Structure 1
């Protein structure tokens, strides 16, 4: 909601809220799936909201996109085929395609308008959309995964919204079973997993349980800062099919040939060290 010149998102369940001072509203559209709004802010550039919730801003999106992609790609032995479920703003796709060894990256988002809005307001996130290795599909990602050939993908990145509405099925054990089947041996799935402070003993704990129920042999949550999301702290949770997602190719990470704004080998290593309260919450 907006109050005066501010965009305010209330998190009633946590008893907190987040706000950005606005310059003006740019555009809004109601799709078959959700209500998308674009804003110009005083200090965070452009802001995209979906159903009244903060999705992405110009200023801090690199934190999320880099941590959703590079830890998984450097944890995998040799990733060539990557599938992104969601991720319509295309920032994760851009980060994946920074890796020269990736031969194909398929992005599957059910709502094409998210991508069209991003092309207009966040062109820097969409600079890899025309890469010959990129494939953009606007279909149901859950259905696509059910029909995908077994053992055909190295990494699955679930770059979804919160586990409600169109994204609810992306957090369930049945979906993870399909992902496990589609991944090759040594494959990795990574799912955005909400706030470590607010959701460690609920959403994140359930994710670990559902991933292991689906057959994954190792799981790991990596926290990272994210100012515009609840509590200012976010996370991704990885699971490996016969591989250890608690380790990564450190030399390759340290010697990467592309620039990042947040991710480094040291950041990756540090993110693997969970604080005691999270270890306790996750059992």
Structure 2
């Protein structure tokens, strides 16, 4: 069940970033991230009011807040990196960082020791993430990614790693208030980043509502990951949840009628193989 929830989390993360990636082409990236996190915050606070009866401890709320700080940094810097550089570079850099750090923490600090099949699945998933995110350059052209975009992608990866690790420290018995706290803190972090750069705060047309809805789906994703991390090893739950780059590729193929390259096909096959190994393990 934990593996299935982690995969559903990957689907939700993928749809969220696909929609907000399109929105970031029409409005400042920080503004898009703010609208998304506000939408996610509203949903989680309402859910906590309806479905949570027990009060979370201060320590549990602090872990949720730490996770939210990572979310705010990760989302803001990922969308800014996507607006500055090639998707084929910035997405896998941020995603591999988000995966590698929790896997290393699970192994070195939490004492997790995955079995042989699980270890092979994790090892197969990392290059699959990279390949799936590949965006082939047009014939005769060479894609370059500026240093600021690479820097933003690296910072985003660390932020998402903190997001994942913070949520794993919140017990399921704490209810949804730590998750709501994480969403509130993510909004505060993004507002602080906006105050420093002062982008425009307008999102054109119906994209404001669409972005907020995508942010709500992102909150569903983090809840699914949170539950999965308590039913499976942190390393495995993180790797499965971080397979989300496959979702924008599939959506671009179906919705936008884009063509995919050989590297993306190889990445999708690798992701399928990793999922099969982790599920069988």
Q: Same fold (TM over 0.5)?
A: no
Higher RCO, Cα 8 Å, sep 6+: 2
Bigger fraction of residues in strand: 1
Q: TM-score, normalised by structure 1?
A: 0.29
Bigger fraction of residues in helix: 2
